[in-house]
């Protein structure tokens, strides 16, 4: 069993409890910048809002590498506030009405709310059109939110020992892994660009522009992936506690076999458990990296996660630590693919 890092868990808790739906990543970006500033050679924010940190200078045997983990989370945006102060909304990213009912939300201006639902007819399924946000306002003029205001789900971080539960493990768990791997890389022949991207949940937008600017020779996305280990769940060979998942394909891209083999060999060298991931649906920043400019060998290091895109996503503490070890090992050595 991997030793649990208190630093890793503390960073993760800080990240998941900071709001940042797609397009509103300024608070989470500032937290990440403060955490990594003393561990990198250069740090900047690009025009779209991606935080990009450079570490190392390319030497013989090294490559220009892009590591991308997205900072945004799914959320909601207000479309209308009625005379009684109830707000209607649209989704930001993939949000199911089934995970909304009774949920609590936090707006970027600090306003809190709870998601209510209209009465349903017999056998009627809940839909987003039947839901509303109650902020406690008694009228439209009394409301502290308006059209265009954005919120994320509000749930506390729960440390269950081996399992960790919070909203926005997608993708703050991967951000935590990238941060700790960044700190762990002391010497390298590579020029590494750690990209903490924006707006992944609405179309990989940040990674597209960041990859064009960085122009990497090889790239790895770090993201979560679903599991096949729950009762009557999806059938896939990924489970919590069985190690990092090395992506083979998802619906957005096929990982470069050379990158897959590179990651597998590093896991074997370190004696780390690992899984191969074939995801039927879903995409990551790896697709954006792969298609930039004339094309880039790209892959994805995935963190097994249950209940993705719900307010209570679950990861395994050992999987996280193994992901840090694998990523740091990959980046500390020369790359031959």
Distance from C-alpha of 172 to C-alpha of 13, rounded to nearest angstrom: 9
Distance from C-alpha of 48 to C-alpha of 71, rounded to nearest angstrom: 13
CB contact at 8 A, 164 and 305: no
**Token pair listed for 151:** 């919120």
Please report how many Cα atoms fall inside a 13 Å half-sphere around the Cα of residue 37, on the Cβ side.
9
CB under 8 Å, gap of 24 or more: what pairs does 116-122 form? Answer: 116/86
**Token pair listed for 135:** 């902020």
Paired with 106 in beta bridges are: 112, 152
| Per annotation, catalytic residue among 180, 200, 201, 313 | 200
**Token pair listed for 211:** 């990859």
* Cβ neighbours, 10 Å, residue 166: 23
Distance from C-alpha of 137 to C-alpha of 87, rounded to nearest angstrom: 10
Report the candidate in 319, 245, 251 with the shortest Cα–Cα distance to residue 276.
Answer: 245
| 124 catalytic per annotation | no
Catalytic residues, by residue number, are: 200
């Amino acid at each position: 069993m991997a030793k649990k890092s208190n630093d890793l868990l503390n960073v993760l808790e800080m990240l998941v409890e900071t709001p940042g739906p797609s397009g509103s990543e300024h608070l989470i970006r500032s937290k990440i910048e403060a955490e990594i500033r003393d561990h990198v050679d250069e740090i900047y924010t690009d025009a779209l809002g991606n935080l990009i940190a450079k570490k190392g200078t390319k030497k013989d045997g090294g490559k220009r590498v892009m590591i991308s983990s997205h900072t945004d989370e799914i959320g909601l945006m207000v479309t209308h506030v009625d005379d009684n102060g109830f707000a209607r909304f649209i989704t930001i990213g993939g949000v199911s009405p089934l995970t909304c009912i009774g949920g609590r939300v936090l707006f970027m201006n600090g306003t809190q709310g709870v998601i209510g639902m209209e009465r349903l007819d017999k056998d009627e399924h809940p839909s987003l059109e039947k839901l509303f946000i109650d902020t406690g306002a008694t009228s439209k003029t009394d409301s502290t939110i308006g059209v265009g205001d954005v919120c994320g789900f509000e749930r506390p971080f729960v440390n269950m020992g081996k399992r960790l539960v919070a909203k926005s493990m997608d993708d703050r768990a991967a951000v935590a892994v990238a941060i700790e791997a960044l700190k762990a890389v002391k010497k390298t022949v590579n020029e590494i660009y750690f990209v903490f991207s924006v707006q992944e949940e609405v179309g990989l937008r940040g990674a597209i522009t960041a990859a064009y600017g960085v122009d990497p020779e090889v790239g790895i996305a770090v993201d979560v992936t679903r599991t096949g280990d729950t009762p009557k769940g999806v059938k896939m060979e990924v489970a919590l506690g069985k190690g990092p998942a090395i992506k083979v394909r998802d619906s957005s891209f096929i990982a470069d076999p050379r990158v897959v083999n590179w990651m597998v060999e590093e896991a074997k060298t370190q004696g780390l458990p690992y899984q191969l991931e074939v995801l039927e649906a879903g995409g990551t920043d790896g697709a954006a990296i792969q298609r930039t400019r004339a094309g880039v060998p790209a892959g994805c290091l995935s963190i097994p996660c249950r209940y993705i895109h719900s307010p209570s996503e679950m990861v395994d503490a050992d999987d996280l630590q193994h992901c840090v070890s694998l990523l740091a090992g990959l980046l500390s050595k020369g790359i031959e693919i």
